[in-house]
Each structure stands twice: as structure tokens, then as C-alpha cells.
Chain A
Amino acid sequence: MAWLVVRLAISMSLLYTASAVFEDQVGKFDWRQQFIGKVRFALFDTHSQASKKLLLATDKNVFASLNSRTGDLFWRHVDKTGPEGHIDALLMYGQDAVVVVGNGRLLRSWETTVGGLKWETVLDTGSFQAAALVGVQDFVKYVAVLKKSAISLHDLSSGSEIWVENLPDSDSVQYQTIYSGGNGLVLVLGVVPNSHIVIVEYKIEDGEIMNKKSVEAAWMSSLESSCAVVSSGILLCVDQITQSLYTLPLQSAEQTEMRQIHLQTLDLEVVSGFRPVLTSTQPNPAQPPLSEFFLQLSPDHHILLQFKDGLIAPLRDFNPAYLAAFATSGERTVAAVMSPKNDTACSINLFSADTGRRHLDTTIIYHMDPNGGKPNRLYVHAFLKKDDSVGYRVMVQTEDLALTFLQQPGRVVWMREEALADVVTMEMVDLPFTGTQAELEGEFGKKAAIQDGLLPMVLKRLSSQFILLQAWLAHLWKLFYDARKPRSSVKNEVTIDVLSRDEFNLQKMMLMVTASGKLFGIDSKSGTILWKQYLENIQPNSVFKLIVQRTTAHFPHPPQCTLLIKNKDTGLGSLYVFNPIFGKKSQISVPALPRPILQTLLLPVIDQDYAKVLLLIDDQYKVTAFPSTKNVLQQLQDTASSIFFYLVDSSQGKLSGFRLRKDLSTELIWEVVIPTEVQKIVAVKGKRANEHVHSQGRVMGDRSVLYKYLNPNLLAVITESTDTHQERSFVGIILIDGVTGRIVHEAVQRKARGPVHFVHSENWVVYVYWNSKFRRNEFSVLELFEGAELYNSTVFSSLDRPHPPQVLQQSYIFPAPINTLEATLTEKGITSRHLLVGLPSGNILSLPKLFLDPRRPEMVSEQSREENLIPYAPEMPIREEWFINYNQTVSRVRGIYTAPSGLESTCLVVAYGLDIYQSRVFPSKQFDVLKDDYDYILISSVLFGLFFATMISKRLAEVKLLNRAWR
């Protein structure tokens, strides 16, 4: 019977928390955007004219196919992260795309139409050098893979290995490239730096070495970066020191040294400090490359040259030209060159490769985004038009990882912002009111009231009421107008101008900071990018911290966000202040930060312009305030003795607390040192500043109250043991008061190791670790209570709370690995909390906090049932209906951001990783919202019915009373 009760209790609690999306709600509150990352290889499918496929391989180890007409993904394969899934090479022939993955570990062939895997071969170990398609008699049949010490040839249709041969003298010679001109031989080129080149010829049929020779080249350090093969097997190299080109026929027996051609004889010169680049093209792997090639002499100087009869002749000089690329369609090869037109635009022109003559009417104007980066890659898709002329489209990749696809005469077909594949941090900011609402706000502003007299105020009031009426009429008219149109034609274009806060504040501005240094402002309702700003000169190892200093609540002051950009190595930082709604850089002067920044602190102190004060602490423990007006400094002086902050030095295991002095210097007040020989600090987290806790305690089964220990200054410090042996490793959790340095609780999770993910909120900490003994993931929850009595119920002070809290803890098995963890957040904190767990499968699990309660009893009792406690079960359930993103999985989810909305029941969620997913969650269901299928007609007819019934009965009663009076 007890068991039945247990099960009943479980199922009841599940019923209570079960929440899933209905079929017709799909995509209503949520959206997902998929990204691929920075493009490393891009190939257009030139197999057939009508093909729309564009194959891309990226630095995020993603291999994808895009629709070149729309920019949408046809399919995408996300490989392992890190070097294991790194895509080394991408080759395409016909319908097949051959990919080398993981430093030459795997060779895969993909069917490009549907993205199915055709075959996969595991290659021998050895670091990857090069891969090439090999053709015999105008027909490509093989793929050759060059490793550090071996070369292997594989059949293109089945992947089976034809032969594998060790390379001669591979310990001294660096083999770097493969060349095959379709004449039955595979040539492997290697170099002994600053000595000589080695050329080994292999027979395609059986891998027999046909010839091996070495050629003096004392100036050469790397073959790959300075050489190319042109014409019928001529090795062409460029050297910036001797300012010369060198040529060598690869298969001639007579010539045993490279022929030097001074660039001077061609009237050319390499800009000092620039490494010249040779670009050749081999349209068909079964045929030798073309004899034309590009030579880049400076960042904006390209020249098209031709190799003919042992001589090099310039065909056309492109100066200035940023980018140049070859493209082939059928038998025709063209060269596209991008030249600057003016400050904001570039023109791309097409030239025939064999003559260097410009094709008429082929200009594409590329407008550079003033808030974007410079173009750095050009991919050309050439095709034959009906009149046999060559048409083309181009894809331009810029420094800020934007992909733009253009067609003549400069129409942007589509654009992708691949910087969003690597979001580092984000914030959500409320949208401003509409102009009319703002007008009203302005009218009641304090300043206005003081300046104006009574009469102007009345007039102002009337005029603003009139404006409101006007706006309402316009709104009604628009509604009427839209209603007449068919639904599909009503397009909801979102622009900054029409953005305004909705009545429940559900639509917000998402600010996203990406690793490449590009900032985005995205509308949370539709996912439309409203503004973007590329910050130049961002070091690749920078860390970012985004701080909202002023929200939209302080009209007419614009909202203000500050981005702290910090170099990870030097610690030097800089501030970028901007308006989060429009993305414009603020004109406010920013303090110079000459010293490395250790810590930032956003104070609740506001200046006269309602901006919160940001304190920056440098490595000499000096404090810089921003903004640092007189008003702010005065306020800081007044409150200095109550401003405390902490610093963490994980290399020394040191946590230290400081107090601000009146002169903005600091004093050390506490110190905790965790010996680094035993354990190292991996993470420190406080609570979120915008968190509200509604209930001070929990009502127990016996009607008494267990008060929560709600210390806003509490820090959760997670440590990991240096000893990684599975029996001795441990994860430590230390709760420290950030003001006094008092260790409130210290616990050790034995036989555990990281990575640890944790959430610190209200009076609880939830952390996930790996149990190294049982090889499973486990959740543990810590809850802190003051006990049955509150020490001081009016205010919490870390300085005056002498009794240590009661700590309850319980652990559970979680049957899945996890990527990230976050807790839901609502406006007032009344709604029950859920934990959002990002799983590697791409699902976001909304786990009720109810299941992570250390008071879950072993045995069910009357009191625990009264309290709605679920009986303890060691394993945490995962239910499919708890996945908030149903089938919209988020690849490689790295972070989850939660923000409250205007509705208490609703929490906005953004999960980001390779993809971005935005949704709403309702942890306690939508208790403050009427359902979609709410029966308005029924309730209004009942109301009206009752109303009329009252009227009639009243009348009848009157008549009856009158009659009685007459009687």
C-alpha cells in the first residue's frame, strides 16, 4: 500500500510539472538558427548547371551543404570538437565530396545531394600533409592522401585502398604536396628546408617508385606556402628575399636545378615584409593545370601571369585588388578580381584567364558594411549562360565571419552571420517604449514639471492625449487594413524603428558578444538581427564581460551597456560603451585602463543620469569608477565602508576580500588560502543580482516554517583535487561569505572529478560532477536554512549573522552527460524554479527543482506528503516531454541564458552553442495567462445572460412589489 502511495505521489508530482509543447504551438514562441562557423573550404557544385549546392567545411568541424539561392542549410554534419574532428581537406568530384578528418585519421566520401555517407576508411596513423584527386585518361578514379611518412591511394567509388607506400627518407625530408597531371603518375614533392627539393614519382597502378630526384633550393623553407604547379607539370616558386621566381619542370630528366627569373625583369617588386602568394588552378584533376596563375605582391596588388615556353609573361596587372580567384565552368576558366571602388564599396570583375581580357558587363558592386570587417576570402561560382557567355556569382567572407552571396549587378542574394556560431556572452535588455508612450513619460518627468507653469502643463497634457488618440486610430486603421489582406502577404518586417515593448515585456533585445569581436542586437521574438557592430583589433584570446549599466527604464536617457574586453594573457582591458537598442557607440568618455583588470563590480549606486556605477579593480588593488563624475565619487565616499569585493587567484589558491576606502584605495580584510598541492579552484560563482526570492521560508508538514538562509553575498567555490586517481580524486565545494570571508560550509564529494557544472541561486547550490568510481554523472543539491527562527528578519547583514546555517544535501544519479546548467528566473520569484540542462544531444531539459530537494524523504510520512515532497529515488528521471526544444536540437550547447519577462509565469530562455535557440518556459504553467483556446464567447454570453436576467428579474420584482402594495 505504501508503495502505491509512493507511486501515486510521483505520478501526481509529474502531472503537476509535466509541460510540453502542443503541435500547433511549434515555432510560435520559439525559434532556432543554425550556424556552421568560419569557412575553411567552400566548393560550388559545378556538376550540373541547375545545381544549387554549395559545400562548406568550417573551423568548427562542420561539413555542410547550403542552398546557394537562399543561404539555407540543405544538410549539416557536426563532427567531434577539437583536433579529432578537424577537417583537413575537402575535395569534390561529380556527386561525391571527399573529406579528410582528424589529422588524416579518416577518409570519408559523402553523397552531396542528401548528405549521406557513401564510405569511410580509417587511414594509417601519421600527420596529414595533403590530399589530391588523381585522374587517369581524363577520368578521375582515385584519391591520394599524403602523410608525413607514407602515401596511400584510394579508390574514389569504394574507398578501398589501392596501395600504400612509405616515403623514402621521411625523417629528413618534409613531404608537403602531391601533384598529378593525369599521365599515370603521382608526384610527391618534399623539401629539406634551406637545402633541396625532393621529387618522387609513383606509378598509379601499383605504387612503384618510377623516379626520384633532388634539386638544389637553398632558399626554400616551405614548399606549401611558396610554390604552385602550373602548366604541364612546372613547379613554380617565389622567394621574397631574392625577389625571384623559380621554375622547374617536374618530370624532365635534363634540368637538374631551378631556373631563376628575377621579378625585376618583369618590372615587379614584392613589398617588403609581405610574403608573396602564388595561386594556380587545375580545373580537372585528370589534366594538367592551366599555365596562367596569380601572383600576389602586396595585400592589395595582384598580377595575372602566364607561363609559356619557359618564359613568364604578365597578362594583366591588378593594382589595387584585394582578392582574386579562379573559377571554371565547362571548358572556360575565368578569374574574378575584387578591387576597391570607393571607401564603402568594392567592384568585382570577371576576366578571361587565358588572355586577361575583361568580360563586358560582369561587374558586381559589393557594398562593404560600415559596421563590419574587410573582405578576406572570395569564392566564385561561374556558369555558362544561354548565349554561351560566362556568368558568375560570388560569395565573400569578411573578417567578421559574415558570408555574403552576391549576383550581378550587386544584389545581395543572402547573407549569413557565422560569427554567431561562437557566442561568448549575452544579455537581454528591455525594449524602449513607443514614441507616444515615451512622450507621456516625458510629460511626467520631474524636470519638465519644475520648468513649466500650470497652463503649459495642461496644454502639454492635451497635446499628448491627442497624440495618443491619433496613434490609436492609426493602429485601428492598420488592423482593419491588414485584416482585408490575405494572411500570407502580411509581412512582419521587424526593424529598429517599429520596435517597442509589448504589454507583457516578452519581446526583448538580445545582445550577443561573439568570439570574433562582433556584437549583435537580435530581436528575441523573431531572431532578426537588428544591428551588428564589428570591433576591430580584438585579440583572439580575449575575454568579454557585458554589463548593463542603464536599462531602458530611465527615459529620456538612452540605455547603456558596457563591454569589458580583456586580453587573457596580459590582463589589459578596454571598455566599449554602446546603446544596446541601436548598437551605436556612446560618446561618453571612457577611463583609460593602463593596468591589468582583476575584477569588476557593478554597484547599485547610480549617478545623476541613472547609470549604475561600475568599479574596476586593477592589479595594484586600485579602483577605477565608471562613470566617475563628482556625484558618483561623493556617493562612493559616503558608502565606501560598506563596499566589499573579493578576488580569486586560482594559481595560488587564494581568495581574498577587500574593502573600499574613502580615497578609492582598498584594504585587505580577509584571506582564505586553499593549498594548490591538494586541490585547485576551478570556479567561483555568486548569485545573480536580478534574482528575487519571494518566500522567506518553507512551510513544513507540521505548519512550522523552516527559514531559508538567503545570504546575497554568498560565494560558491568549486575545487577539484590535483590527484586524479579514481579512488582518491574529489570535488570540493566551499561556501564563503564574500564580505567577511567566513567559510559557511565546506564539503567534499569523494571519488568524483570534473567537469563540474553548477548553479547557485536562492538558498541552494546544485552541481553536477562525474563519479569516477561508478562512471556516471551525478547531481548534488545543497540547501541552506537558518532554522525555525530568523536571526534578523528585516535585513540581512553578513557582519551580523553569527549562527551558521543548517546545511542539507542529497545526491542523485543523472543518466546522461551534460554540457551546461542554468536555472529559470522570473520577475518576482513566485513561480517554482526549474533547472535547464543542456545535453550533448542538443536537447534542453527543463528539470523541476522539486526533484532536487535534499528534504526528499526516504520513507513517506504524513508530514512529507503534506509538504508535497517526492520520496527519494536515487535516479533522476529524464522525460522526453521535458525537452523544451522538442526536435529543435541545439548543437554543442555551451551556455543557457535566462531572463525574466513581464509575466510572472514566463521565463525567457536562450540556449547558444553552434546554434541559437530562443524559447519561453513556464515552470508553473501559465497561471497568469488565459489559454489559447479560452472560450471568450461562452463567458461573455453567460455574463450578458446573467446581466439581462438580473435586469428582467429586477423589473419583475418591482412589478410584484407594486402589485402587493395595491392589494
Chain B
Amino acid sequence: MAMRRVLSLILSVLSTVTLLWTQSGECNNGRRSGDAGDTDLSGFSVPLEHSFEVDDVPRFRLRGALQLKGGKENGVYLSQNQLSEKDRITLKDVAAADGLYRVRVPRVSLQVDRQTERPSEGYLTTFVRACALVESHLSDVITLHTDVSGYIIGISIVTIPGSCRGIEVEDEVDLEVFNTTISVVAPVTAPAPETAPFIERMEQEMEKKGKNPQEQKSFFAKYWMYIVPLVLFLMMSGAQDQSGGGAGGGAANGGGR
């Protein structure tokens, strides 16, 4: 990874881009931005904007462009600019003042055909503490959430690590390039009650029982050979008692039991 970063610096690549296929879970780290033109993305691009101000009044500027690919596989591809010298200083100042780093995307649909239907209106915004972003050396995870029909309903950003410990980030180089992992998440389908496997399992149990007649036998059927002598023995001893009692009188009878 470090090797690659050095490489990318040497090549003075403008940004680090991560492409993550949510469906397959396959990800492709550290692509050069020059590749953007080569990929056969038939989708469209929307701006990803960010804002970090010392006075905490949001003024959004372009951070990068999200290449969205429609269709079943919601692919997303982010090409973003390097932070300028001025931005780096501002970001550090904001972090020192415990300000917020905000990002926003316009409300769009990933379905290309829907794109023309309705112009995007409004933005989806979220934030992360600026200090967390600085301390993580600009490594963030951006997730776009869509609804069932492919509209983006929310954006979330977290940094890894997410804490603010007050560690000084000395190296200006660490705050130049975003190391972003971006993904699009569609809602999962909640499971319905699983009747079929349950019935299958029940049938298997029944079959097992059918195959093994030994199991089906009742308690009495299995152990009759022990029970019958026991009962016989008890009956015999009882009868003896009775006859003995007749001779020995009432007291003996009671004692015999």
C-alpha cells in the first residue's frame, strides 16, 4: 500500500479513487485517475461537494465527481481533486476548533432512464468531525444509500479511525490526498418466515421414524419383558402377604406391607 502511494505520488496523480462493487464485494484500490476515461462507464456523473469553514457556515465546494453506473450492479467510481495548500490549512484550523466537515450529493436516481424524468432537487448532506478526518489522514468511507427504486436517499461518511485524540498531524503530505472507500448500498430484502425448510425438516424426521421402527415402539412395547415379571412378582408377593395375614392377624398384616 505504501509502495503504491509512493508510486502514485511520483506519478503526481491527482487523486486516489476506490471502486467498490457492492454486489460482488470486489474492490479495486488506488486506481489512477487517468483510468477514468478508459473505463466503460455508461452512467453519469454527479458532483460530490464538501464544506469546512472556521465560522461553521456551510459553503460547499467541489470535492470530486461521482461516476454512477446504473443498472442492476450499482457501481460507483469517484474521481477527486487533491486538497490545496489553503484548504489544508483551513481543514487543520477547523479541526482545531472542533468544527464539522460536511459533504453533500444531489438527490438523483441511479436509474439512467429516471434521470431525465425528474431533475434533481435538493441535496443529501452529512458530516464528520473535521478533527477525525485530519487524524485519520483523510481516509474516509463514504456510503450512498438507495431505496428500492434506485434513488439515493442518504449519504454517510465515517473516518477510520473515527476518534479525535488530539494527535498533531505534522506531515502536510498526509492531508493532500483522500483515501476514500466509496460504495452504494441498496436495501436488503428482509427474510420471510421460512416454512419450506421447516416442513422439509419435519418430513425428514418423519421419514427417519418410518425407517427405524424400533423408535416408534412405545415404552411398554420396548420394555415389556422387564415389566411383566416385575408385576407378576409383585402380585405373587401380595397374594402371599394376604394368606400370611389371614393367619398372623391384623397387626402382622399391617407390618407386612
Identify the A interface with B (CB < 8 A): 1-3, 641, 667-675, 678-679, 730, 732-734, 736, 740-743, 745-751, 771, 778, 780, 782, 792, 799-802, 809-813, 858-859, 872-875
Contacts and interface: CB of A to CB of B under 8 A. Distances in A.
17 contacts: A3-B209, A669-B127, A673-B107, A673-B124, A675-B149, A678-B149, A678-B151, A732-B187, A746-B147, A747-B187, A799-B129, A800-B163, A801-B162, A810-B191, A811-B190, A811-B192, A858-B194
Contact of B125 (A671, A733, A782, A810): A671
A678 B198 CA distance: 34
Given A641-B98, A749-B189, 5 more contacts: A671-B123, A741-B125, A792-B163, A809-B190, A811-B193
A649 to B, nearest CB: 12
A674 B187 contact: no
Nearest to A6: B205
A772 to B, nearest CB: 12
Given A802-B141, A802-B159, A778 B192 contact: yes
A593 B56 CA distance: 29
Contacts of B127: 669-670, 740
A858 B198 CA distance: 8
Interface in B145-183: 145, 147-149, 151, 153-154, 156, 158-164
B197 interface: yes
Nearest to B102: A669
B195 interface: yes
Interface in B64-117: 98, 100, 102, 107
Nearest to B199: A874
Contacts of B156: 740-743
Contact of A675 (B151, B185, B186): B151
Contacts of A799: 128-129, 132, 162
Contact of B126 (A678, A740, A859): A740
Contact of A741 (B154, B160, B191, B197): B154
Q: Among A670, A747, A749, which residue has the most Cβ atoms of chain B within 10 A?
A: A670
Contacts of B5: none
B129 A743 contact: no
A858 B158 contact: no
B225 interface: no
B250 interface: no
Nearest to A653: B153
Contacts of A813: 193, 195
Given A747-B188, A750-B189, A802-B162, A675 B195 contact: no
Given A667-B56, A674-B147, A675-B147, A733 B126 contact: no
B154 A672 contact: yes
B222 interface: no
Contacts of A771: 192
Contacts of B164: 800
Contacts of B100: 669
A779 to B, nearest CB: 9
B147 A679 contact: yes
A1 B211 CA distance: 13
Contacts of B229: none
Q: Among B159, B164, B190, B191, which residue has the most Cβ atoms of chain A within 10 A?
A: B190
Interface of B: 56, 98, 100, 102, 107, 122-129, 132, 141, 143, 145, 147-149, 151, 153-154, 156, 158-164, 185-195, 197-198, 201, 205, 208-209, 215
B131 to A, nearest CB: 10
Contacts of A778: 192-193
A673 B153 CA distance: 5
A57 to B, nearest CB: 43
A779 B24 CA distance: 30
Nearest to B194: A874
B117 to A, nearest CB: 10
A746 B188 contact: yes
A3 B185 CA distance: 40
Given A675-B153, A743-B156, A800-B163, A670 B187 contact: no
Contacts of B159: 802
A645 to B, nearest CB: 15
Contacts of B123: 671
B190 A872 contact: no
Contact of B190 (A3, A672, A749, A801): A749
A859 B156 CA distance: 38
Contacts of A751: 192
Given A641-B98, A670-B126, A732 B147 contact: yes
A872 B192 contact: no
Contact of A802 (B154, B160, B192): B160
A631 B151 CA distance: 46
A443 B220 CA distance: 75
B126 A873 contact: no
Contact of A742 (B102, B126, B187, B208): B126
Contact of A748 (B158, B189, B193): B189
Contacts of A810: 191
Contacts of A740: 126-128, 156
A641 B131 CA distance: 15
Contacts of A748: 148, 187-190
B198 A733 contact: no
A732 B148 contact: yes
A802 B139 CA distance: 12
A288 B149 CA distance: 70
A751 to B, nearest CB: 8
A670 B125 CA distance: 5
Contact of B194 (A641, A730, A742, A872): A872
Q: Among B107, B125, B153, which residue has the most Cβ atoms of chain A within 10 A?
A: B153
Contacts of B56: 667
Given A667-B56, A740-B156, A747 B189 contact: yes
Nearest to A814: B193
B257 to A, nearest CB: 30
A672 B158 CA distance: 16
Q: Among B158, B185, B192, which residue has the most Cβ atoms of chain A within 10 A?
A: B192
A678 B141 contact: no
A799 B186 CA distance: 23
Nearest to A741: B126
A740 B156 CA distance: 8
A736 B156 CA distance: 10
A669 B157 CA distance: 12
A889 B195 CA distance: 32
A809 B190 CA distance: 7
B158 A742 contact: yes
Q: Among A668, A800, A801, which residue has the most Cβ atoms of chain B within 10 A?
A: A800
Contacts of A669: 100, 102, 125-127
Nearest to A746: B187
Q: Among A734, A743, A751, which residue has the most Cβ atoms of chain B within 10 A?
A: A743
Nearest to B196: A874
Q: Among B148, B151, B193, B197, which residue has the most Cβ atoms of chain A within 10 A?
A: B193
Contacts of A809: 190-191
B146 to A, nearest CB: 9
B114 to A, nearest CB: 10
B195 A874 contact: yes
B161 A802 contact: yes
A668 B128 CA distance: 13
A802 B185 CA distance: 16
A792 B215 CA distance: 53
Nearest to B202: A3
Nearest to B98: A641
Contacts of B129: 799
Nearest to A854: B191
A875 B192 CA distance: 12
A771 B191 CA distance: 12
A674 B107 CA distance: 10
A774 to B, nearest CB: 9
B161 A678 contact: no
Contacts of B186: 746
Nearest to A792: B163
A727 to B, nearest CB: 14
